[in-house]
Structure 1
Amino acid sequence: MILVDLTIVIVATPTIIDKLDASVNQVVWVSSAYMLAYAVPVLITGRLGDRYGSKYLYLAGLTVFTLASLWCGLSTSIEMLIVARVVQGLGASMITPQTMAIITRIFPAAERGKAMAVWGATAGVAMVVGPILGGVLTGWLGWEWIFFVNIPVGIVGFVLAVRRVPKLPTNEHRFDWLGVALSGVGLFLLAFGIQEGHDKHWAGWIITMIVGGLAVLCVFVGWQAVNRKEPLVPLGLFKDRNFSVSNVAITTMGFIAASFGFPLMLYAQAVRGYNPTQAALLLFPMAIMSILLAKFVGGLTDRVHPRLIVGFGFAMSAIGMLLMTRWLEPGTSVWWLCAFQVLVGIGNAFIWAPTAATATRNLPMHQAGAGAGVYNATRQVGSVVGSAAIAVLMSSRIAHFLPGAAVQGEAGANKIPDPHVADLFSNAMQQSLLLPTLVYLVGLVAVLFYERPKHTGYGGAPAATVAAPVEG
């Protein structure tokens, strides 16, 4: 549910632009606000789960998330919606690290791959199901229902968690509140500066925000290195090469998931004249391939070198995205677009689950929450930067190909009537999609540095890590 909400707004973007009288940049903030509020606290909420119990943090987060979803659906202005999404993101940040930490604790290392593969596959499927569900709900019931749908799911999830989620031993932790402040300020300054840069014509204060954000993040890393008590991000985790590589890989996937849908959905609705449901169905082949291959890839995760599995995934997705970028034109057959989505879906299926499993396989039990927090935070950092970057690129490309055109008018829910303008708008979206294509290649280079995991499934020494006892 919380991962679906990362991307569910994408298809509803043109409708929200019209109904709430918003700009493209404002609607992108509906996603960015959620991602930023999700990313900043997720480092500390993993530790809170270690200290007070993963089950209880999960239930609290689910309550906040579900109530915030109701608020989102009742919003009557774009500003109110953005604020509600911030609260929703805070709830999400309380939930996600607990799910990953529980899996890490109750499965021994040699068997953790299959369990984490389910977790990773769920994440991958959710990222592509989000736009499809958003399109169906927006087309049939209205944009508000992309948030209202969370309420029954949240209630059912709460009841099931109370009954079925185990209570695990807790650990004493000291909380690095200075680290929380530094990471939060740094991420906000960086994301806000990048996203608002084009709209504010890269004014001096915008550049200052971006540079300041990078400087604060550097100070944050330095503080983590010298903090001898208990840093927010234990840098020792990164001594495990596979944990480090997995964090780079999942950062790129967060970037891509938050960025590629905006140009594609605007193209589908503004150029081809699709309604939200029809536009969302362009992503259906990607979702289907992710679902069909989830079990197969999960079986490979404990037996095949992650460099081979994830490397294949990034290569296949990059090829599919590049072909889609090349053929994103007004007259392109929808079957070609679906074929390219199949390639991207095959690749994604080989990325999400193995990356999650490889990242956490060798984590010590007392750092399960911290490791899960770092992993999810890096993914969210990628999402925040990806959302901000694609907003800048789309705005600049539209301004380049359609100088003087009102963004709202060119990217609204109605089809562009002028064929020449539609062609120019397609060119703008084509060039915007080059960004996630290049990021796929960055991920490909990163995963080539995976090493063979040290556990019995790969023929190595038996893992010393065993499941923690479950109470209750």
Structure 2
Amino acid sequence: MTAPVAVSAAPPRPARTRSPWLTLVAMCLGFFLMLLDSTIVAVAVPSIAADFEVTDAATVWVNSGYLFAYAVPLLCSGRWGDRFGPRRVYIVGLGVFVAASLACGLAPTLEVLVTARIAQGAGAALMTPQSLAMIRRVFPAASLPTALGVWSAVGGVAAASGPLLGGVLIAWAGWPAIFLVNVPLGVVALAMVVWWAPRLPAAGGTVPVVTAAASALGVFALVFAVHEAPQTAGWLTIVVAAAGIVLTALAFVFQPRDPRRALVPGLLVRSRGFVAAVSSATSASFIVGAALIPVMLHLQNERGLDVGTATLVVLPLGVVSAVTAPLAGLCVRRWGARPVAVTGSAAMVVSVCACAVAADTGAPISVLVLALGLFGFANSFVWSPLATAAMTSVPVEFAGAASGTYNATRQVGAVLGSAVTAMLLAVSGPVVALGVLGLSGFVAVAGAAVLPKGVAAARARPSA
């Protein structure tokens, strides 16, 4: 692979009359809401099933519909942001998300709820690449790592706090509250974007329709095969997953060569920094998207804790992640993405393996609390450098494509991690599931280790 594509010291930006930190606040609120919805529904399944008088299995698609609709369009939505401007696409996505949240909360039947959740996921897919691309384009190089560290930590806190907030809201007002709370917060987020997010010029180009459709179908086939693996014959799972991989690969091979028209411009896959960051982030998502499931099962089923007490045990994860996020960004500015990412991914391996050992040996709860606190530290020290490396390894005019690719692979990694964890829990239990997740983190360590030396740090230093 070639070296990362250099980003000019002063890329052209429109004149700004507002602080980019206000733009970051607007982006983070919407980002928090959509990632919160990817985990908050898990605790509502029994209540939804009882209310609609259906089985727990029938309600699975309330969560899965969102995840599918979120994962599949991400590649395309990143390019739409380049084509039409990230602010415009973000506002459309947030509007869809808020309207769908209202429909979820008022859904009279399970079928309506699942349909509204799919619309929610589609809105989230439009928003995610634009938030990262917007941050990349409005922040000066010196403060970009800190901003991306905050953005990344917000995502980690949102995913980790979903079960906690979901439990509180359901106990207080029933399952519709987990969706209806998005409406006033979403309106506030929309107002923030309108007031604080600048109108950035579109990069132009077109989105290849055939390539986009083929890649979306390929991603869907892969995610669907993994998701349905526990209920499907092994040979059929392999066939569908292989078809998805082949279709996605063909879409990339036969996409237009003009980088302004390509779904994933070739300069992305030729950039060592971008490929390494994406590989490491996908592996980290494989862990983060699933690790709390076996932990919570162990605490409740084997330690005998109730839901509220078990939630308090995992609370340090979110607290430590939020507190250390700015520190991670400052470290990226000072030393570059590689040492910070290696530190974070190694801490992730240690923390998850420590949880496995503690669960296997019956160690005191305090050991799990410390391990989960280390996991929160890892959460900040992984996402900040990887997001920074991915977004600064390509020219700013391709920020949407880079963000879409980065987030799409992260989401696929999370879905794969959840599916593999579900299978391991069914045959072996929480200890083995945690052990496999922990060992898989060495892929994240390897990806972080091959990041180009000094990436992001050199760009983060103000020019003389």
Confirm or deny: 8 A CA contact 2:142 2:460 kept in the other structure.
Answer: no
Superposed CA offset, 1:125-161 (max 9, x none): 2222223222322333333322222111101111111
- Using a 3 Å threshold, how does the CA distance of structure 1 residues 209 and 219 change in structure 2: closer, same or farther? same
Q: Are 1:252 and 2:283 counterparts? A: yes
What's 2:166 paired with?
134
| 1:451 partner letter | P
1:196-217 deviations in whole A, cap 9, x for unaligned? 2222343x44332122222212
Alpha-carbon offset, residue 80 of structure 1: 4.2
Report the CA distance shift for 1:354/1:23 in structure 2 as closer, same or farther (over 3 A).
farther
Amino acid at match of 2:405: V
Amino acid at match of 2:284: M
For 2:104 and 2:295, the matched residues in 1 are separated by 24
Change (3 A) 1:26 1:449: farther
Matched, 1:146 2:178: yes
1:447 matched to which residue of 2?
A: 448
**Are residue 107 (structure 1) and residue 139 (structure 2) matched?**
yes
Structure 1 pair 454/379, CA: closer, same or farther in 2 (3 Å)?
A: closer
TM-score (norm 1): 0.83
Give the CA deviation at 1:295: 1.8
Given that 2:295 and 2:355 are in contact with CA atoms closer than 8 Å, whether structure 1 keeps it comes out as no
> How far, CA to CA, are the matches of 1:221 and 1:431 in structure 2?
36
In 2, Cα distance between the equivalents of 1:324 and 1:78? 36
Q: TM-score, normalised by structure 2?
A: 0.85
Deviation at 1:165, TM superposition (A): 1.1
Q: Structure 1 pair 279/81, CA: closer, same or farther in 2 (3 Å)?
A: farther
Is the alpha carbon distance of 1:27 and 1:445 closer, same or farther for their aligned partners in structure 2, counting shifts above 3 Å? farther
- Counterpart of 2:395 in structure 1: which amino acid? P
Is 2:36–2:161's contact at 8 Å kept on the other side of the alignment? yes
Q: CA deviation at 1:462?
A: 5.8
Which of 399, 403, 409 does residue 368 from structure 1 map onto? 399
1:215/1:30 CA distance change after superposition, 3 Å = same
Q: Give the corresponding residue for 2:416.
A: 385
Q: What residue identity is the alignment partner of 1:142? A: G
Q: CA deviation at 1:90?
A: 0.4
Match 1:5 to one of 24, 32, 37:
37
CA contact (8 A) 2:259 2:265 kept: no
Unaligned runs of 5+ in 1: 398-427, 464-472
CA distance in 2, matches of 1:441, 1:249: 9
1:210 aligned residue (228, 238, 241): 241
**Paired amino acid for 2:273:** N
Match of 2:197 in 1: 165
1:302 counterpart residue number: 333
Query: Which letter does structure 2 place at the counterpart of 1:322?
Result: C
**Aligned equivalents of 1:27, 1:303: Cα separation in 2:** 48
SS class of match (2:255): helix
Alignment of 1:321 with 2:352, yes or no, is yes
8 Å Cα contact 1:297-1:353 kept in structure 2: yes
Please say if residues 17 and 24 of structure 1, whose CA atoms lie closer than 8 Å, have aligned partners that are also in contact.
yes
Instruction: Note if 1:178 corresponds to 2:210.
Output: yes
The C-alpha deviation readout for 1:336-373, integer Å capped at 9, x for no partner, is 22121112112212111121112112432221111111
Match of 2:157 in 1: 125
Contact 1:131 1:283 in 2 (8 A): no
CA distance in 2, matches of 1:123, 1:197: 28
Aligned to 1:421: none
Deviation at 1:175, TM superposition (A): 1.2
Q: Could you tell me which runs of 5 or more consecutive residues in structure 2 were left unpaired when the two chains were aligned.
A: 1-32
Q: Distance in 1 between matches of 2:448 and 2:421?
A: 24
Structure 2 equivalent of residue 291 of structure 1: 322
What amino acid is aligned across from residue 449 of structure 2 in structure 1? Answer: L
Distance 2:231 2:112 in 1: 21
Aligned residues: 432
Change (3 A) 1:183 1:391: farther
2:283–2:413 CA contact under 8 A, matched in 1: yes
Match of 1:341 among 372, 385, 397: 372
Displacement, 1:64? 0.7
Give 3-state SS (helix, strand or coil) of 2:289's partner.
helix
Counterpart residue identity of residue 42, structure 1 = L
Aligned residue for 2:71?
39
Seen in structure 2, the aligned counterparts of structure 1 residues 368 and 19 have a Cα distance that, compared at 3 Å, is same
Q: Distance in 2 between matches of 1:146 and 1:354?
A: 32
Calculate percent identity across the aligned residue pairs.
35
Change (3 A) 1:246 1:78: farther
Aligned 8 A contact 1:225 1:235 in 2: no
Give 1:277's match in structure 2, choosing from 308, 321, 324. Answer: 308
The equivalent position to 1:73 in structure 2, one of 105, 108, 112, is 105
2:34 aligned counterpart, secondary structure: coil
Query: Which AA in structure 2 matches 1:158?
Result: L
Q: What is the distance in 2 between the residues matched to 1:355 and 1:454?
A: 10
Quote the residue 1:431 is aligned against. Answer: 432
Secondary structure at 2:433 match in 1: helix
| CA deviation string 1:159-206 (max 9, x = no partner) | 11111111111232211111221111112212222222222343x443
